[in-house]
Amino acid sequence: MSSVFKLPEVINFWKVRGSYATVGLGLPTNISNAMIEYNKGYTYGVDAGTLVFPRSSFITDPTQKDLFPKPEFNKTFEAGTELRMLDNRLSFDITYYNSNTSNQLLETKIDSYFGGLKPGWYYINAGKIRNTGFESSLSYKVFNSEKFGWTTTVNASANKNKIVELFPSSLPIPEETFFSLAGGGEYTKLKLGGSFGDLYGIKFKRDDQGRILVNDKGVPLAESIPTYLGNLNPKFIMGFNNSFNIGKLGISFLIDGKFGGKVLSLTEKANDLYGVSQATADARDAGGVSVPNAVYAPGTPNAGQAYTGLTNAKDYYKTVGTTEGYGKGIDEAYLYSATTVRLRQASISYTFDINSKYMRNATVSLVGTNLFFFYKKHRLIRNRYQEIHLEG
């Protein structure tokens, strides 16, 4: 736009962009290798030094041609603008995108006969999955000289995905059917109209006012079937980066924030069952567990009355905790916010003048990633990939 129109002097550069692209993707390498059947199971195979576990198979029944493997297609529309101002010291960039992926290959579990398919794990081509969102950045060069420079940048992004279609409409599959996604355990489910990362599990049983129902001993009651708990993915991501150069010395740090999303602790759920967690020790020392916003359930002597006492720690944790897997215990008791703010990266570097025949200069840097949290909603959230390394 800045090369077409005459803009105010304060604006150095302005660009408006838009694009539409269609990209195809074939099947992953070696995924269709035939394996030898043995004792109604499959033996493992080795391919290029990698173990291949054939838990899932492609659908080859001629009556299910709509589910035969096919290439994945991604159709993406993007629109955005880039702006630089104040002698290029202030810059702003934002992009909106709408991405529709069809025939995405998923490894999923089918639990019952429908459409003529036997129960088991299959590779299927999901009908349509839509991602919409934006990515943006705002940067300002506070100081810009060789002796001292400081650039500060704020990045923000958000993404929302929706499963628009799972199977071809020709198959008689109820819309409310759930499917387990390989790698996500039994707790993440695929459902038409849902999203990737949706968590399902057992909740506390509540009355019409949202209060937890307890029995005559103060032990919480559980719902009978798993329901929606939340989504694993953050609703919003923000980063704050600062870079300084003091002569040949460079210093930078990046603060990263992820807001929203849920995390489910199955380890804590198991430890509580056996009474070996810190929470169970604290409950024993306190004389029991306090159940917030609770009332006695219908059918108990004090039905409808508020419960304000302490529940026996053993009775409570044997009810909410379990090692039996999906659909057991009370998962809601172990559901936490995944919101975190951390020091994602910090680095310090120095550039040495070499001025030799083969090298003009050399830079040595010390970089640390995922160093610590400024804020986290729950103590069990950890830095899984903390690293410090030297580069040159």
- For the stretch 325-382, pLDDT in tens is 889 999 999 999 999 999 999 999 999 988 888 888 899 999 999 999 999 877 666 6
Question: Residues for the chain: how many in total?
Answer: 392
Phi, psi of 274 (to 5 degrees): -90, 0
203, pLDDT greater than 90: yes
Give per-residue pLDDT as tens, 13-39: 999 999 999 998 887 766 665 444 443
301, pLDDT greater than 90: yes
Residue the block writes with tokens 């419960």: 307
Beta bridge partners of 316: none
Res. 128 pLDDT band, cuts 50 70 90:
confident
Residue the block writes with tokens 């304060």: 10
Axis-axis angle for helices 313-320, 278-286 (nearest 10):
150
Distance of alpha carbon 226 from alpha carbon 194, whole angstroms: 15
Cβ–Cβ under 8 Å, residues 156 and 236: yes
This prediction's pTM: 0.82
Span 249-277, average pLDDT: 94
3-state DSSP assignment of residue 204: strand
Per mean pLDDT, which range of 170-184, 273-287, 309-323, 324-338 is the poorest?
Answer: 170-184
Phi, psi of 309 (to 5 degrees): -85, -170
Q: How many CB atoms lie within 10 A of CB 175?
A: 8
Cβ–Cβ under 8 Å, residues 201 and 178: no
pLDDT over 70, % of the chain: 85
pLDDT over 90, % of the chain: 57
